[in-house]
C-alpha cells in the first residue's frame, strides 16, 4: 500500500507544479497555431500605448499581446518594459506559433496608408465619428453580429464624404449586395481584405482585378443597402461600414475588429477640399 500513497503524493505534486506553471506562464497554453482565429485575437485591442508608438513594432506587438492575454487597453507603458524577455521566452517554447501570430498582425497593419475618410480643409465641415461596434447584434436578414466598424457621416447628406482606399491592392468584389448596398472589396498586398459598404456611388466604374493605389478615391459615403432592389437607400443613417477580413486556416473570411486599426490609421489622415 505504501507505493500507492507514494504515487498519489508525486501525482499531486506534479499537478500542483503544472498548475502553477500555467498560472505563471499563461502565454504557453494560450498560444497555438490557430490563435489568430480566436475571439480575443479578433478584437485587436491595441490600447493607447501601442497607438503612441512612432512606428508599429510587430515583435513588440505580438509579445505584448500574448503576455497580456490579447488586451492592451488600460495597460501602462512601464508594464511592457520586459517585452524582449517575453518574446525570447515565447520563441523558445513556440517559435512557429509566435511567428504565425506576428505575421497575422503584419497582414492587418503593414499595408495601412491612410484613414478611409479625409479631413476637409473647410472648417465648417465636421469630421466623421465612430465607435467600437464590432460584435453588436444585427437583425436584418436574420440574427447576426456586426462584423465591422461604422464611420458616421449622418450630419451631411449621402454622397458628401469621399471614401479612400486605406491600402493598395486589387479589387476583389464590387457591385450591389442586399445587406451592404454598393460596396467594394480590396485585397491588400499582405493578404487582408478591406470591405467598404453602403456607398452612395463609386468614383468610377471599378472592375474585379483592377489595381488600386493606396489612398485612391473609391467612392462616396451613403446609406445604400438592406434591400434586394439595387439602389435601395434610406433604411439607416449615412455611414461607411468598414470590414476587415482574413483568410485563415479554417475560414475563407474571418472578420477582425477594425476599430483599433482605424485608431492607428488616424496618424495618416489625408486632407481634401469638400
Q: What is the pLDDT of residues 66-90, one digit of tens each?
A: 999 999 999 999 999 999 999 999 9
pLDDT category at 30 given cuts 50, 70, 90 is: confident
pLDDT category at 154 given cuts 50, 70, 90 is: confident
Question: What is the tens place of the pLDDT at every residue in 201-231?
Answer: 999 999 999 999 999 999 999 999 999 999 9
Tell me: pLDDT of 27 over 60. no
pLDDT category at 157 given cuts 50, 70, 90 is: very high
b/e 117-151 (16+ beta carbons within 10 angstroms → b) = bbebeeeeeeebebeebbeeeeeeeeeeebbbbbb
Q: Return the domain boundaries, the chain.
A: 2-109, 119-272
Tell me: pLDDT of 164 over 80. yes
36-40 own/partner pairs: CB under 8 Å, 24+ apart? 36/100, 36/101, 36/104, 36/246, 36/248, 37/248, 37/249, 37/250, 37/251, 37/254, 38/70, 40/69, 40/70, 40/71
CA torsion angle 20 21 23 25 (round to 10): 160
Q: Is 212 helix (H, G, I), strand (E, B) or coil?
A: strand
Work out the number of other CB atoms within 10 angstroms of the CB of residue 4. 8
Beta bridge partners of 177: 181
What pLDDT score does 253 carry? Answer: 97
Domain 119-272: which CATH number of 3.40.50.10540, 3.20.20.60, 3.40.50.10470, 2.70.70.10: 2.70.70.10
Beta bridge partners of 199: 182, 221
Tell me: pLDDT of 132 over 70. yes
| Mean of the per-residue pLDDT values of the chain | 91
Query: Could you tell me where the beta strands, DSSP code E, fall in the chain?
Result: 119-120, 129-130, 137-138, 144-145, 149-152, 162-164, 169-177, 181-187, 193-202, 211-212, 217-221, 239-246, 254-256, 271-272
In percent, the amount of the chain with pLDDT more than 70 equals: 89
What pLDDT score does 141 carry? Answer: 85
Dist. CA 93–CA 62, nearest whole Å: 15
Give φ, ψ of 90 to 5 degrees: -65, -45
Amino acid at each position: 500500500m505504501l507505493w500507492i500513497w507514494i504515487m498519489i503524493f508525486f501525482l499531486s505534486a506534479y499537478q500542483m507544479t503544472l498548475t502553477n506553471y500555467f498560472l505563471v506562464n499563461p502565454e504557453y497554453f494560450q498560444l497555438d497555431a490557430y490563435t489568430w482565429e480566436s475571439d480575443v485575437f479578433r478584437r485587436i485591442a491595441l490600447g493607447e500605448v501601442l497607438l503612441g508608438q512612432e512606428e508599429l513594432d510587430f515583435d513588440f506587438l505580438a509579445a505584448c499581446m500574448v503576455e497580456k492575454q490579447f488586451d492592451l487597453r488600460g495597460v501602462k507603458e512601464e508594464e511592457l518594459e520586459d517585452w524582449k524577455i517575453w518574446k525570447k521566452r515565447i520563441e523558445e517554447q513556440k517559435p512557429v506559433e509566435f511567428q504565425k501570430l506576428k505575421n497575422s498582425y503584419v497582414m492587418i497593419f503593414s499595408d495601412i496608408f491612410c484613414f478611409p475618410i479625409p479631413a476637409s480643409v473647410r472648417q465648417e465641415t465636421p469630421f466623421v465619428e465612430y465607435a467600437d461596434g464590432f460584435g453588436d447584434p444585427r437583425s436584418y436578414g436574420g440574427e447576426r453580429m456586426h462584423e465591422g466598424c461604422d464611420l458616421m457621416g449622418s450630419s451631411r447628406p449621402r454622397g458628401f464624404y469621399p471614401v479612400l482606399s486605406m491600402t493598395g491592392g486589387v479589387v476583389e468584389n464590387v457591385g450591389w449586395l442586399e445587406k451592404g448596398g454598393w460596396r467594394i472589396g480590396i485585397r491588400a498586398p499582405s493578404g487582408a481584405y478591406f470591405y467598404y459598404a453602403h456607398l452612395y456611388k463609386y468614383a468610377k466604374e471599378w472592375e474585379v482585378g483592377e489595381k488600386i493605389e493606396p489612398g485612391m478615391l473609391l467612392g462616396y459615403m451613403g446609406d445604400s443597402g438592406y434591400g434586394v432592389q439595387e439602389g435601395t437607400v434610406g433604411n439607416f443613417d449615412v455611414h461607411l461600414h468598414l470590414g476587415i477580413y482574413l483568410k485563415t486556416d479554417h475560414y475563407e473570411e474571418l472578420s477582425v475588429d477594425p476599430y483599433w486599426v482605424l485608431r492607428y490609421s488616424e496618424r495618416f489622415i489625408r486632407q481634401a477640399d469638400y
